[in-house]
Structure 1
């Protein structure tokens, strides 16, 4: 064949063959996200004359009062809180004034003053407008409704650990929770609100307040202290000991009705027909207060006239995470929770989801729940997969509780609002409980799809 013919034949073959597929662009390598959105060297959360970090917590009787904590710069001493019954006119009348107390706290963001005002003598189920003072400034007016009568319906929210990347990734969980429960009156947090111990503790608290801004503008907040709200004093010395971090008592205005030795982190209150008891698992495990907390818990539960009881604690009675076991809590606190038939034990710490019933087969209460709202995600243990249902990895969650008379309805939803777990507790004559599972609309079990985190850790799913 002549050379020209050969070239023509080759061209024909080339035209008939399929074109080669374009080379696939490699997926860009993702870098781990920093724990805060504050760049190194930037000052984002310096205190000033403007009041910030405003949070209302329940009094022992939230139908007649609540307490408020807030922060300013160090030049502001004993400012005022103003409160008035909310009205439709901008002229709501002359507000009542309450003088705050002040304590100092110096952090990497500078010297601050934290203030506390206790509001009492309010009417039940009444909407109040209130604001707090700074240095020649005031916060915007906020509105908060006091607890109603015991037999009125109640909606509340529960969040597991927020802890990491709060502004970046906890914010969406807070907003989705409000979308699903716009009538909520109370938000419970199961500890480890921040991570801490990394030189940017105050930035982390600033981001927690940013992430919860919408909730805090409308609801009372009830937090439990986690291990990350404590720190190791005199670390790596013979004097090493666990102590409560300085932010906690300055940040929240709690009732002070707690267990001996853990007065700043244990407390209780009655919100309508629910007695909520807040425990400190870190203090029980590491600071020698387990026995005292158990005796206090027994007394608080024995004195409850409410139909429903909820215990809030950071470390779980039954840990769903690999290589964790809180035996001391089961030795001292678990017998009280079981004997007093607490309805819900709401927990965090393990950064997965898991639910199980009490010690006896077929027992409706307590229901022990572990959940996580934040970005850090661990892996489930084999034991959790055998003893808990449902369980989840790699999932940010919030929980909605609706209480109406003799029924308590529970929902766990993902950060996008999808239903993951649901059940109801029903109270029969004599106080006996019956559980009803709701499985129809739940999505399927979520397991971690990654062999390692972006940092290469195989013991976690995400960080």
Structure 2
């Protein structure tokens, strides 16, 4: 009798769990309930992020946010020490820009720090209204021959706190020595009336990363919005958050000054291009000329081009012809090593020698692969959140793509053979099997996506 009762209870629980799973609803893009002001600015500094100067050996820049009571606040910096008394701090006055959003009016601040010593750990903090942030640590870039570890993230975009957080934590656990983080655009979704909440969630999801590493993002199409939508005057316009959220180098193309830039970090030159501007605003040819100059003057062994839209798209129905027409010849001419991309919300590495073209995704939105991608790329993945760890050590670059749980998905080495050029060496050991989407549709009934 007891056995029968237990079985009946188990059956009831199983049925309830099955019904709960069947009734599962799509998760909202942010965790902020309607009518709640979760990310209002205050006198306490927040959204603090360090970015590299053009020469990362001698400087970096910091952006942060407060309410409008704070204007032209200070950044204090000193060589980090073991005692709480680190000595006299150097003070730098920030510039401030106002921004009004659904969370109220804020001031966004920028301080540019120069004249630093290479490979030196600095402690720094930023000012608010009668208060300061914590002291943060940033180490300047070392000499070119020193080993370097960096992180590369594809689109974060959706449900950042809910599902990006775990990937960032896993990335920092696998690469505690990383000094630089590259983001391939679409950091947020935008255009939904809660842009500021999304940026608040991006910073919350990234936790200590933006103040422990220097951050270099590429702009994505979701950092833009459609002005005069559905009219003859419709056009792409850069969103108000992008220019004030990051303190990026000001060496970009005149026609895309706030969204293109380059910098040197040890033995690597990183050049960031703006695919949205190239495709939708007609700057592809001008960006190609600017990219040619930035790569021609590269004195380092390695080069990376960071962009949002892929040159070779792994998603069905996308074909970014102007990128290949104008910018690809420049990349080939200068023998760029890596082209790191996002936008298509799958994983794919083009089967080719250097340059190596990679598309990856970090966030929750997941698309489906095209048949062309399955023929021309290896490995590929659907329904998989990823981060990438890149380690540069003299003539060898080691690349790893890992899943949200840290499992190895893709790995290769680029080895510089001098006059023989750079060779790609596959590393197949310990990789997990190829991942494919097994869902017929999303919770919203979309068959063209795997998750959203």
Residue 277 of structure 2: aligned partner: 283
- Spell out the pairing of 1:50-61 with structure 2 (5 A cutoff): 50-61=44-55
Stretches of structure 2 lacking an aligned partner (at least 5 in a row): none
Residue 296 of structure 2: aligned partner: 302
User: 1:211 & 1:137 partners in 2: Cα distance?
Assistant: 24
User: 2:203 & 2:60 partners in 1: Cα distance?
Assistant: 19
User: 2:144 & 2:49 partners in 1: Cα distance?
Assistant: 24
Q: CA deviation at 1:22?
A: 4.5
SS in 2 for 1:193: coil
- Spell out the pairing of 1:353-372 with structure 2 (5 A cutoff): 353-358=347-352, 364-372=353-361
Residue 361 of structure 1: aligned partner: none
Q: CA deviation at 1:237?
A: 2.0
User: 1:301 & 1:430 partners in 2: Cα distance?
Assistant: 19
Tell me, yes or no, if the aligned pair for 2:74 and 2:126 is still in contact at 8 Å.
yes
Q: CA deviation at 1:440?
A: 1.0
User: 1:379 & 1:141 partners in 2: Cα distance?
Assistant: 43
Stretches of structure 1 lacking an aligned partner (at least 5 in a row): 1-14, 359-363
Deviation per residue, 1:85-119 (Å, 9 max, x gap): 00000000010000000000000000000000000
Residue 168 of structure 1: aligned partner: 162
User: 1:100 & 1:46 partners in 2: Cα distance?
Assistant: 21
Aligned residues: 442
* Pairing partner for 2:346 from 349, 352, 356: 352
Residue 204 of structure 2: aligned partner: 210
Deviation per residue, 1:305-361 (Å, 9 max, x gap): 000000000000000011111011111111111111100000000000000144xxx
- Spell out the pairing of 1:59-458 with structure 2 (5 A cutoff): 59-358=53-352, 364-430=353-419, 432-458=421-447
RMSD: 1.5
User: 2:376 & 2:147 partners in 1: Cα distance?
Assistant: 33
Q: CA deviation at 1:431?
A: 6.3
Tell me, yes or no, if the aligned pair for 1:69 and 1:117 is still in contact at 8 Å.
yes
Larger radius of gyration: 1
Tell me, yes or no, if the aligned pair for 2:351 and 2:376 is still in contact at 8 Å.
no
Q: Would you identify which runs of 4 or more consecutive aligned residues in structure 1 move more than 4 Å?
A: 21-24
Q: CA deviation at 1:430?
A: 2.4
User: 2:247 & 2:213 partners in 1: Cα distance?
Assistant: 14
Deviation per residue, 1:374-414 (Å, 9 max, x gap): 00000000000000000000000000000000000000000
User: 1:302 & 1:216 partners in 2: Cα distance?
Assistant: 30
* Structure 1 residues 431 and 126, CA gap change in structure 2 (3 angstroms): farther
